[in-house]
Every structure is written in structure tokens, then in C-alpha cells.
Amino acid sequence: MSDYVAAPTRAKEDQGIIEHRRRMLGVFLNRCARMKQIRKDSVFLRFLDPNASWSEVLHSAPISGLPKHPLRAPPIDPARPSPAHQYLPIPPANAKLKHIPSPPTSPQDSRPSGFTHVRSLPSPSANLSEAELDPYFITYEGNTRAYETLLTSGVEKVNRRMLNRLSNLSTDLAELGARYNAFSLSEPAPTLGPAIEKVGQAVDSTYLATEELAAGLASGFTEPIRESAQFAGVVRNVLKYRMMKRVQEEITRDELAKAKMKLEQLEKSELEARRIEHYLAGSGVAAPPSVEAQRRNSESSLNQQQQGGGGGGGSRSSGDSDAGSVDSDFPPTHSSPMPPPISTTPVPYPQGPQQGGAGGVSPQHRKASSFSNPLSYPVSKIFGKLTHAVSGIVDADPETTRRNNIGKTRETLVQLEAALQVSGRDVEEAGKSVLADLHRFQAEKEEDMKKLMVNFAKCQIEWAKKNLDSWEEAKAEVDKITVR
């Protein structure tokens, strides 16, 4: 595989790598064919079809209908999620269950065996809740991780080192056999030369047997070890998926409880507000207007005063009342400070060509002069920004906001209830399916380990038999040597 990574073009022409791929593909297809769910799946059938385009398969149903996140899909048929699946929360990758009960112990669990954790798994027909299944799955996940580490970091590592040494040994034996054969040709003795040649042939036979041993161990021992380790990793991922489904159910239940509490508080606040309004209406006291209503009333009064001031003429008393109404309609935090009241005593003012016979200033000019301060525009600008900022923080209409929050919370409550229902169904389906697959995986793992050990022993026996036959022939020839 390292050769394939380093030089993929050359590796495609390497007969050893091609044979390795053919063997692994055959093992994969045979395992898929033994599983009924996969054997009848349309994607697997199209994968076996030589005329089907795999790119087209990946971009068509049912693969194209898979959700972006597997936790928002049903575990058995992920290509057909319900509308409620989109409301499921996505737990973090390192999330764990809050409470994990201890599994019940039995006398057989105390026996020192490498597979006692498998015997402690409940039967698929056992009627256990998901909370009761949690400790079994967690224990099995830990043992599967230890099994995977043992294979990858222990057995496979040592076996790879042994294969390298067998390969080096076969190379040395090939060179040694050639030297013995050359030496036999230079020996004139009638019995010594054939004996040396027979020893060289035995060394050559050992070289060939060692190469066959290395190849047999690579295909019959190393590849199954690596495959079993990969299956253990897949089992851990499946168990993690089931655990994430359980955590997702817990998070959904917690979010639903929070939404119910929030809705209860909002409805309580709404009931309290209505009770206060009913009390004020019964006592004859008007309810205080909202901030938004006060602002609208202020703006309408200001518009009326501006329209009245642009008329051009009017009595002095009407001008005073208009100015007073304009000043009184502004709220305390409006754009400019309140102008001083205009005196009713005529003030001497120079006569001009645009001024009437009366020696005073017209009411329209008085209203204009009350806002003609040079500092009024910057001050009004600053206060306008401040008013805008405060209005963004202060709720202008708390009653409408409260009712909107109640509506949104009720909608969220309906979504979470539907999500909790589908989450519970998904967890139940995942638990049953995972438990059945764990028993199937364990049976296949034990069968694979049995075949693996048998293959290892057969390779060693065949290697020893071939060496024994060749060296017995060499020994018989050596015994014929006569010493002069």
C-alpha cells in the first residue's frame, strides 16, 4: 500500500497490489452478500452492475436525498427523513450522557476471558429500555477499542516486522543457495560435490518455501488482522452514533422542558397584565399609554402646529397659544430644550419695510425666533441619536412583544414535541439494530479469528514440511560422503 501511495501509476501495474485489491474486494462483496438488508439494496445492486455509472448513482436517489447530518435522519432508512427531523438539535462531538447506570452483574462475567464482555450483552429479544442498554454498549465500546488497539499496535505491528525479516531471510537464502551450487561445481571429489549440491538445493527449497510463507502470512493472516481492526473501528463508530442519538434525545427533552417553562412564565405575565388592565378599567383609571403611543401623539401635535404656523397671519393671543402648544407637546427628551415663554408686553423693535404698522413682532416671527438658536441643531442632533439608541433598548410596546414571544414559544414547543417523538423512535430503532448487529459481529469475529489462527498454523506447517523433505534428502546425500 505504501508503494501505491508513493507511485499510484506504477502500483496499478503491480501484480501483487492488484491481487491484494482483488482479494479485499472479494471479501467485501461476500460479506455484503451475507447481509439481507444490503443484498437487496438498490445502491448495492447498481454497484454490481458493470454498465451503471457510479457518478450517476452518487447524484441520484436515494443517496441524493440523504440529509447533510446523519443525526437528522432515521437510522434504518436515512434517505426518508420526516419533517420533524430537521428540528432535532445536533449535540457536540464530545457530548456524553448525564446519567449512566451500572449494568447488572452475573457469575459468568467474573470469569477471566477475553470475550466475557460479549457474553454479558443482553439477548436481542430481551425487553430492556434504552437507559438499561447504555452501560452494555459503553462497556462493549471500550472493549472494542482495546481489541482494535491490540490488533493494530500489537499483533499487526509484530507480524509486519516478522514478514520483513522473512523477506530478508529469503533473499539471503537465495544468495546462499547460489554460492553452494557454485561451490559444488568446483569440488572434484565424487561424493563431496553431489552432497554440496544437494545442500544448495535444500537451501534453494528453503528460500522458495520462505517466500511462500511470507506471501501466505500476508494474505491469510495480515490482511484478515487489518480487516478485523477496521471492522472494530466501524463498530465503535456505530456505537458512537447510537450514543449521539441518545444524547440528542436528552438535549431535545431538556429544550422542551425549557420551552414549557418559558411559555408558562410568559402566560403568567400576560395574565398578570390583563388582570391589571381589568382592575384599572373597573376603577375608572385609564391605563398608561405606551411609549409608542406617546411618540405618535407628540409627532401629530407637532405637525399640526407647523401647519398652523405657516398660515401667515393671526392675533397675538393665538400666536402665544400656538407657541405654548408646540413647546408642551414635546416630550422631555426631545430634540431641543424648551424655549422661554414669550412675554405679552410689546417689545420695541426697529421698523422695517416688511413690518406692519403695529410696532411689535408678529406671532409667526416669535415662533420662528424661539427655534432660531444656533446651538439648537447640534443639540437636537445629539438628543435625536440618544433617543434612537434608547428606543432600541427600551421596549416600545411590551404587550405586543409579549404576545409575539408567546406565539413563537408555542410554535417552538410544537416543533420540539414532534422532534422528541421522532428522536425516541430513532433511538429505539437504533438500539435494537445495533444490539442485533453486535451479536452478529461477535459471531463473525470469533469465526474470523478461528480461520486466521488456522491459516497461520497451516502456513507454518507447510513451510516446515517442505523444509523437512528437502533437508532430509540433503542429509541422505551428505551421509554418502566417504572420508579418505
CA distance 6 to 4: 5
Scored b (16 or more CB within 10 A) or e, 127-144 reads eeebeebbbbbbbbbebb
| Dihedral angle over CA of 169, 171, 174, 175, nearest 10 | -110
Contact 200, 184 (CB under 8 A): yes
pLDDT digits (tens, 9 = 90+) for 411-451: 999 999 999 999 999 999 999 999 999 999 999 899 999 99
Q: What is the pLDDT of residue 398?
A: 74
Give me the mean pLDDT over the 322-342 stretch.
44
CA distance 168 to 162: 10
CA distance 346 to 361: 8
Least confident of 117-121, 168-172, 277-281, 402-406: 117-121
CA distance 235 to 442: 10
Q: Is 248 helix (H, G, I), strand (E, B) or coil?
A: helix
CA diameter of the chain: 166
Q: What is the pLDDT of residue 205?
A: 94
For residues 244 and 112, the model is more confident at 244
pLDDT digits (tens, 9 = 90+) for 19-63: 888 888 998 999 899 888 888 888 999 999 989 898 999 898 888
Q: What is the pLDDT of residue 379?
A: 60
* 316 pLDDT more than 70: no
Give the type of residue at 429: E
pLDDT digits (tens, 9 = 90+) for 174-221: 999 999 999 988 888 788 888 999 999 999 999 999 999 999 999 889
Distance, C-alpha 276 to centroid of its chain: 49
- How many residues can be counted in the chain? 484
Least confident of 22-26, 210-214, 278-282, 337-341: 337-341
Q: Is 313 helix (H, G, I), strand (E, B) or coil?
A: coil
Give me the mean pLDDT over the 112-135 stretch.
71
pLDDT digits (tens, 9 = 90+) for 350-383: 444 444 444 444 444 444 444 445 555 566 666 6
Q: What is the pLDDT of residue 459?
A: 94
pLDDT-derived band at 319, boundaries 50, 70, 90: very low
Q: Round to the nearest angstrom and report the end-to-end CA distance of the chain.
A: 57
What is the pTM assigned to this prediction?
0.69
Task: Count Cβ atoms within 10 A of the Cβ of residue 312 and give its class: 0-12 exposed, 13-18 middle, 19 or more buried.
Answer: exposed
- Which DSSP category does 216 fall into? H
Q: What is the pLDDT of residue 283?
A: 78
- Which DSSP category does 76 fall into? S
